[in-house]
Amino acid sequence: MFRRLFLTLLLLSATAPALALNVVATSTSMGALVRAVAGEHADLTVLVGPDQDLHSLDAKPTMIRALRSADLVVAVGAELEIGWLPLAIQSAANRAIQPGQPGYFEAAAQVSLIDHGAPADRAQGDVHPLGNPHVNMDPVRMVAVAHALAERFALLDAANAARYRRGAERFAEQVDRRLPQWQQQVADAPGVVLYHRDANYLLARLDVPFLGTIEPIPGVPPSGRDLRELRNALEGQRGIVLFATFESPRPPQRLAENLGWPFEAIPLDPPLDADGEGYLALIDRWVNAISATR
């Protein structure tokens, strides 16, 4: 009887589904990538919605509670979350997700960054000496991040390694199909003014001229003089002013109206429940806005 019971328990343990990894993503872009790579094998919590600025948050009790039981943290990195994530991780007292452990993953650490080498002086504004952290605005870099993330999942859950790698490959195929369409759609676009140096990655990837930023120093709102100087520099050109939905709309609207340009507010991250397709739909929105001025 005991032998039969032992065999039954052994069979049940062999056929029972593996528990999903408890994953915490700092942003909805990172959450979308987790869903694209891991699907149902990740029990996902996203800490920050697309309507919030990752630069300027405080660590909250809800974040700490989510991090306390996490197997893996997926952050953007390059100090984008430096104002709140290190404190939240420290407060969670979870050794598995400390920086340097397999349970801590930064997207920006997996790819080359633009705008690197800025002085580490916060008096110069919201600077990032390691480089521009907004890698989620480049779908090709996000493919590289997806492959690296699949390997991290495989390290933590070897039984499902092949599934994670297939998820990353599917995401790569989706980007490969869309990229030529995006490039064709924005060909000959006159250029873009951004509020902050965030969508530079996308403009560079699609070879769209970057015409400047609304804020004179990262994280510092523009003065009337700053806007006049930018307007004078752009007078007689064509373009569009694009800015994130959480940024102040008045300065970009004022500049656009003075230049006779269109303007639009677009999220930097996809909806809270987005997967890989939801992320690519966000890039579609940016491409559609850029191409409207052709």
CATH topology of domain 179-291: Rossmann fold (3.40.50)
> Taking 80 as the threshold, does the pLDDT of residue 270 lie above it?
yes
Fold match flag (11-177 vs 179-291): yes
- Where are the domains positioned within the chain? 11-177, 179-291
With beta carbons less than 8 A apart as the criterion, state whether 58 and 12 touch: no
Identity of the residue numbered 170: R
Helix (H) / strand (E) containing 74:
strand 72-75
Model pLDDT for residues 81-128, shown as the tens digit of each residue: 999 999 999 999 999 999 999 999 999 999 999 997 555 554 555 666
We find that the CATH architecture of domain 11-177 is 3-Layer(aba) Sandwich (3.40)
Identity of the residue numbered 246: F
pTM beyond 0.95: the answer is no
Distance from C-alpha of 154 to C-alpha of 28, rounded to nearest angstrom? 22
Model pLDDT for residues 174-212, shown as the tens digit of each residue: 999 999 999 999 999 999 999 999 999 999 999 999 999
Return the number of other C-beta atoms located less than 10 Å from residue 135's C-beta: 27
89's tokens = 């991780």
229's tokens = 């100087």
Model pLDDT for residues 31-67, shown as the tens digit of each residue: 999 999 999 999 999 999 999 999 999 999 999 999 9
